Structure 1
Amino acid sequence: MARPHGETAELLAPAPRRPKRLAAVVVSTLVDRIVSGAFPPGTPLPTEPALCETFDVSRTTIREAVKVLEEKGLVRARQGSGTTVTEEDDWNLLDPMVLSATVRHDSELRVLDQLVDIRAALESQMAAQAALTATDADLREIEAVLERLSAQTRIPEMYVDTDVAYHDRIMLASGNRLARAIVRTVHAEARTSLRYVGDPRPDDCEASNAGHIRIFECLLARDPDGAAEAMTTHIQQAWRRRRPKPGTA
């Protein structure tokens, strides 16, 4: 068989190792170590040579990783001064990787409590807006999801996913794209934590669905204040039911 040559040979040549792919592994590990406190705020990261040896990668890869960590607000690199871990207030908690690590190492559940507060604030506002602006088609679709929820209260593993769909459909009906995007981002990461989702039983699902029904009644009645209050109450009560007891988190 003739050997490929010219442009064909270039196309068939093995792809070079991509520093960004290697950097992703370095970034993931360093994010976890920073958030866990292994590298506390105000302390320097290990030197480039030390990181190269630890991860068995080139300096180019380490520099790429540090650049990504800077974008996430976790470190600050200064010429001649090395790279320093920033204070927690500078971390970008809307970054999925940072949020995921923060939730993972949140032994006192403070971040999860704050996340629930954010959900309640944003979703209550969106429920109020949906009560005013949802179309008849929106309400029919929300009702269809609610009917699925009501049929799944005895099947928690199905109910929890439909629960997310119900809330999302109300947010969509509100027309507030930014608030919906924020809630979807933080909620998606929170749901990767078993401490957040808990282990719901059928009676938990029944109690939760009573809140869903109340929210929908307010939407149908075009009652924005009632919808906002019902959403806030539902989210907060659902969290209180599944929040791990002190000492068990």
Structure 2
Amino acid sequence: MESIMPPRRALAEGFAESLVDDIIAGVYPPNSPLPGEQDLADKSGLSRLTVREAVKSLAAKSVLRVEQGRRTFVNDPSEWSPLDPVLLVARSSHNADRVTLPRKLLEARRVVEVAVAGFAAARRRDSHLEQLRSTIEAMEAAHASTEVEAFVQADIRFHQAILAAADNPFITALFQPLEQVLLIGRRQTSAFPEERVHAIEKHRGIYEAIASGDPAAAQSAMAGHMAQTEDDFDSFVVKHGTVLDLLNEQEPPHDPTKRR
């Protein structure tokens, strides 16, 4: 059977991601020139057209800058497109962004999600309340069994249910590019059992406020959750001197509630 070669677009996307990984790893530092197309093609085993397409795509996202008549240079990660999920995930492992980027994400969440909670309280239906209840129950079960990933997924579903209840497609669209980075952030803090307890308590308060139909109470409850999340990030993640790189499947810290 003849092998089917991947289309050039898929090859270019894959090579673009590998270039981003190399940049983050320091192979190509900020403001350094990128090797020429032929050198990159020889090194990767890809065609010059594929390499050119990958470089163009990264230039469009401000990862690279092409100076006419000279060469292609690497931009500092702070200049990269802020709404590209692949780049956000990559930047989350960059030394300069491992703490600052999660903090900025929390700022963005506070600005948007507090208002969203108020909309949800005013517009929620019974189906939304059932979704919120079920996700809290899933969080409780996952915490009891120390299943961090299941806890994180339930946590994300809770906030998605609030977005659905708020019934504003523009706000939902704003959050879509952030989902992957939000997952990373929740994995970082949820690896600690104390933080999971805090999250469950705050989520219950948000649910009760939304269920009561009181927008001001819902906003206050969400603001309290954001403040607690920031405190937990400082107390657990930053205090341990590093941000957990769960994308690389490192072991989370020992959970004293887990039976051996």
Q: 1:218 aligns to what?
A: 209
Paired residue for 2:41, among 43, 52, 55?
A: 52
- CA-CA distance at 1:217 after TM superposition: 1.7
Q: 2:229 aligns to what?
A: 238
Deviations 1:19-56 (Å, cap 9, x if unpaired)?
32332332112112234444333332111122122212
- CA-CA distance at 1:13 after TM superposition: 7.2
Paired residue for 1:208, among 195, 199, 204?
A: 199
Indicate whether 1:114 and 2:114 are aligned: no
SS in 2 for 1:156: coil
- CA-CA distance at 1:184 after TM superposition: 4.2
Paired residue for 1:31, among 20, 25, 28?
A: 20
Instruction: State the structure with more CA Rg.
Output: 1
Deviations 1:131-172 (Å, cap 9, x if unpaired)?
111123322332333344344441331333211111110111
Instruction: Give the Cα separation in 2 of the matches to 1:135 and 1:194.
Output: 27
Amino acid in the other structure paired with 1:245: K
Distance 1:76 1:217, change over 3 A: same
Q: Which moved more, 1:12-21 or 1:181-190?
A: 12-21
Q: 1:144 aligns to what?
A: 134
Paired residue for 1:72, among 61, 82, 103?
A: 61
Q: 2:88 aligns to what?
A: 99
After superposition, the CA RMSD in angstroms is 2.6
| Unaligned stretches of 5+ residues in structure 1 | 1-11
- CA-CA distance at 1:190 after TM superposition: 4.1
Distance 1:90 1:160, change over 3 A: closer
Q: Is the 8 A contact 1:52 1:58 kept in 2?
A: yes
Paired residue for 2:174, among 174, 182, 195?
A: 182
Q: 1:83 aligns to what?
A: 72
Deviations 1:59-96 (Å, cap 9, x if unpaired)?
11110111111222211224422212234443112212
Q: 1:247 aligns to what?
A: 241
Amino acid in the other structure paired with 1:129: F
SS in 2 for 1:104: coil
| Unaligned stretches of 5+ residues in structure 2 | 244-260
Instruction: Give the Cα separation in 1 of the matches to 2:218 and 2:105.
Output: 20
Instruction: Give aligned-pair identity as a percent.
Output: 29
How many residues were matched structurally? Answer: 237
Q: What's the TM-score once normalised by structure 1's chain length?
A: 0.82
Q: Which moved more, 1:168-177 or 1:49-58?
A: 49-58
Deviations 1:92-151 (Å, cap 9, x if unpaired)?
122121111100124551101111221222211110111111123322332333344344
Q: Which moved more, 1:111-120 or 1:79-88?
A: 79-88
Q: Is the 8 A contact 2:151 2:190 kept in 1?
A: no
Instruction: Give the Cα separation in 1 of the matches to 2:114 and 2:185.
Output: 23
Please give the residue correspondences for 1:121-136 in structure 2 after superposition, counting only pairs within 5 Å.
121-136=111-126
Q: Is the 8 A contact 2:189 2:195 kept in 1?
A: no
